Amino acid sequence: MSDPSFTFTRAITRKPGKSVVDGLRAEDTGTPDLAQMLRDHAAYVATLQEAGAKVIELPPLEDFPDALFVEDTALCLPQGAVLMRPGAASRAGEVAQMAPTLRAQYDTVVALQGPGHVEGGDILTTSREVLVGLSERTDRAGVAELAKIIAHWGHSLRIVETPPGVLHFKTDCSLLDGDTILSTERLAASGCFAGYKVIHVPSGEEAAANLIRFNDFIIMPDGFPKTAAVLRDAGYAVRQINNSECAKLDGGMSCLSLRF
């Protein structure tokens, strides 16, 4: 049977707009180049399509510089979608912009009501559970509300910690298959993946930890040859996309789509 944690038919993406240069970032490492970002985004969409996705491409939202990072607005599960409450104030309004698209795709869409916050980047869905990392953007009240919603759909949720100074839980880990996680050493050291098969990101390539598994493909950022080799040796079909511009905004492969 196909594993719903990485077997998908659809994806939602949103093109970056000119305002992306104002996107949030922990550290200023330069202004993102929109033209390059649009080329990378087009390659990302094309790779999702090659992996078997029908991609719903949404237009830029100039009022929301980070809106291309659609993953943070929702959790998509087979039974329904949950609209998040981003912890970053400048991103809160992105959710209402995503809601109609999800309502058109799903019979069941439930919104977190608050007062807590959760961002999708802190959620890793495996074949056995939903892991949610507490972070600067995701708090206990938000996670408690999310846990109740998805418990009705038969999902158990486990609270874990996002390492200090790391934006999102999935900045440091990804699902490779239902039972196998790619993780940085610093995150895996917390013990949060006990019982899973863990592949460590080679030292110095920590920024490769955020990737996606979509059907048969691993879609990862370009420029991390050791990680790519480890994954190929483990039998995965790897596709690489330039991520230099989104990286300036702490964004990676998972942030750029909702997959379901």
Residues that bind ligand CIR (CB under 6 A): 23-25, 66, 69, 71-72, 88, 91, 120-121, 167-168, 171, 249-252, 254-255
Residue 167 or 218: the one with the smaller Cβ distance to ligand CIR is: 167
In terms of CB distance, is 28 or 233 closer to ligand CIR? 28
The residue from 76, 168, 173, 192 that is catalytic is 168
Tell me how far, at minimum, the Cβ of 129 lies from ligand CIR, in Å: 19
Task: Provide the token pair at 212.
Answer: 């996606």
Find out whether 119 and 137 touch, Cβ atoms under 8 Å.
yes
Residue tagged 């305002």 (tokens): 19
255 included as an active-site residue: yes
Please identify, using beta-carbon distances, which residue of 21 and 24 lies nearer to ligand CIR: 24
What are the DSSP E strand ranges found in the chain? 10-14, 54-58, 74-77, 80-83, 109-111, 123-125, 130-134, 157-161, 173-177, 180-183, 197-200, 212-214, 217-221, 237-241, 258-259
The dihedral over CA atoms of 143, 102, 174, 15, expressed in degrees to the nearest 10, equals -120
Q: Which residues participate in catalysis according to the annotation?
A: 168, 255
